[in-house]
Amino acid sequence: MATETQTRSFYSDKLKRAVHLLLFRRGKIPGAREWEFKEKVGKNYQQVLAQLNELLSELDLEVKKVTEPRSDEISTAESHSTLEEARYFVALKGTLGVKEAKMIGWRIDNLAALSASIAYLVSKQGKAPREELEKLLAQKFGRWKAMTLADIFLRTGYLEEDDAGTMSLGWRTRAEIDLRALMTKMAEAKV
Amino acid sequence: MTATEKTKSTRTGLSSGRKELKEIIETCDSIAARKFNPFFMDVKLGVDTLREYFPFWNEFEDHCLDAHAINRLSEVVRLQNTQLKFQSSALYADPDFVTRKVERMSEKRLAEVFLQSWHPVTELEQLTNGGAADALDYWNLLLPIAERWKRNEYSQGTRPETTDSDTLTGLGIHGKEFGRELTDLWNDLRQKYSVEKKPVDYWEFVKGASYQETVQRAYFVSFLVTYGYSKLQVDGDQMILVPNDEPLGKVATGAVSLPIPIRREN
């Protein structure tokens, strides 16, 4: 019994450390890398995260593991992950409605443009020249707004741009968006 | 074949070979930048071309060009492999299909599709080392306000006031579509620039029949400059506008804000 109490208290302390790492932003990107958990939570950090996940699931949240892509390939599978490249986030388990999205500061047209941009980039295997993407957005949202929208998505981390002006999916897209679901819903959507 | 004819044929082979190899490299680079489908390139034909011209190469630079072309062709083969894997995955969708869907779906429907697959990350924002460094850079680069006012000889204007939509309509800010207004003004600037064949003076360009019109034109010109449709250059006391043929698409590195007071006498 005494051992059980000790184990619980041990985990409680580690849970606190893990949740602090996950929720409090320390750098440009929220969440924490795997090595940070190893260093601050210990070798059994995966057990701690599993326990934390159970607690968070009651609040419609979950601990999500996202890996940085090492090549041009895009994938929803996590099978290619390596320990050094993984980052953990706390994300919403369910989804938001239109009203909720508006309440957290998103405009419907901006969400629509983000949806179009990501779907287009996915169809182009994750990369496309900026001009092509802006052309697509301009047809739907107007030429002047297209550039502003692209800049917003770059600033918020949903898209990335390299020196050659090629747009690709950003860290936030990999962390927040279920690409498989997006493409399926897009294909199924009635117009 | 005489020796002269042979030399001439070798020269032709060299120059046309270099040209063809450069074309292959350019095409491969465009494919790598996702401008074309990877299968646009016939790799076998590319390799045959390299093989055809290989006997002509004597100089070190030519061998480097040959090696570079092989490297770029191998990158295309890798992209073709990726494309095949992607097409066999659940994420595959044809870009034209997505474009047509986006065109035909309403904004609300597009947003709904996105929301059904969106699981936003939760975080508590706080001051970070990176954020503090950015803020410090901003304040360090900013001149003291007294200096900025002195440099531009600003006068104390009236304080900002609130207004209603009728007044905005009267000022021309409401009404005509914003995008069309900007496009008209950009075309106007480009026409003026092509006729005069020299940069257009800012004040000459924004000056309207009335003070209200001048303010309105200055307001739209600020958007032309911000969106990269025109450059605004300060040359001593003079400010000049140079229209771009195509928008730059993003804010230039080191871009600064330039407040321009508009006095009634302007």
Phi and psi, residue B199, nearest 5°: -55, 145
Whether A96 sits inside 8 A of B102 (CB atoms) is: no
- Going from the C-alpha of A180 to that of each of A35, A91, A119, B162, the distances in angstroms are 29, 17, 10, 48
Q: What percent of chain A stands above pLDDT 90?
A: 49
pLDDT tens string A137-187: 999 988 888 888 998 999 899 999 998 889 999 999 999 999 988 988 888
Predicted confidence (pLDDT) per residue in B74-126, tens digit: 999 988 888 787 777 767 788 898 999 999 999 999 999 999 999 999 887 77
Q: For B177-207, how does the pLDDT look when each residue is reduced to its tens digit (9 = 90+)?
A: 677 788 888 999 998 888 888 889 999 999 8
**Number of residue pairs across A and B with CB atoms under 8 Å?**
196
Instruction: Check B90 against A183: CB less than 8 A apart.
Output: yes
pLDDT in tens, B16-75: 889 999 999 999 998 888 788 888 889 999 999 999 999 888 889 999 999 999 999 999
Distance CA B208, CA A9 (A): 75
Are residues B266 and B169 part of one domain? yes
**Which CATH number do you get for residue B218?**
1.10.10.580
Domain parsing of chain A, residue ranges: 2-92, 98-188
Number of structural domains in chain B: 2
- pLDDT score of A10 more than 80: no
Residues 202-231 of B with CB under 8 A from A: 223, 227-228
Tell me the average pLDDT across A100-127: 91
Q: Classify residue B103: in a domain, yes or no.
A: no
Final residue in a domain of this structure, among B45, B64, B87? B87
Q: Could you give the 3-state DSSP secondary structure of residue A70?
A: coil
Closest-CA residue in chain A for B106? A191
The pTM for the full model equals: 0.59
Closest to B115 (Cβ–Cβ): which among A95, A136, A187? A95
For residue B102, tell me if it sits in a domain.
no
Residues in chain A with CB shorter than 8 Å from the CB of B95 are 120, 123-124
Q: Do A144 and B223 touch (CB under 8 A)?
A: yes
CA distance A7 to chain B (A): 28
Asked if A42 and A35 touch (Cβ cutoff 8 Å), the reply is no
Residue A27: pLDDT band (50, 70, 90) is confident
Contacts B92 to A, Cβ<8 Å: 123
User: Does B89 lie at the interface with A, CB-CB under 8 angstroms?
Assistant: yes
Q: pLDDT, tens digit, for every residue of A43-71?
A: 889 999 999 999 999 999 999 998 866 55
**Most confidently modeled of A99-103, A112-116, B141-145, B233-237?**
A112-116
B178 neighbourhood in chain A, CB within 8 Å: 144
**Domain A98-188 of CATH type 3.40.50.720:** no
Rounded Cα–Cα distance for residues B153 and B147 (Å): 10
- Domain finish residue from B87, B118, B142: B87
Q: Is residue B251 in some structural domain? A: yes
Q: Look-up: residue for tokens 């950015």?
A: B134
How many other CB atoms are found less than 10 A from the CB of residue B218? Answer: 18
| Final residue before a domain boundary, out of B87, B112, B140 | B87
Please tell me the predicted confidence (pLDDT) of residue B208.
87
Reported confidence tier of residue B11, pLDDT bands at 50, 70, 90? low
Partner A contacted by B83 (CB < 8 A): yes
Residue A170: list chain B partners with CB under 8 A: none
Task: Say if B143 falls within a structural domain.
Answer: no
Does B127 reside within a domain? no
Q: What is the pLDDT of residue B173?
A: 62
CA A75, A78, A84, A86 torsion-angle sign: positive
B121 neighbors A31 (Cβ within 8 angstroms): yes
- Min Cα distance B99 → chain A (Å) is 7
Contacts of A61 in chain B (CB under 8 A): 122
What is the arithmetic mean of pLDDT over A65-92? 64
Instruction: Quote the domain boundaries for residue B202.
Output: 164-266
**Whole-number pLDDT of residue A84:** 47
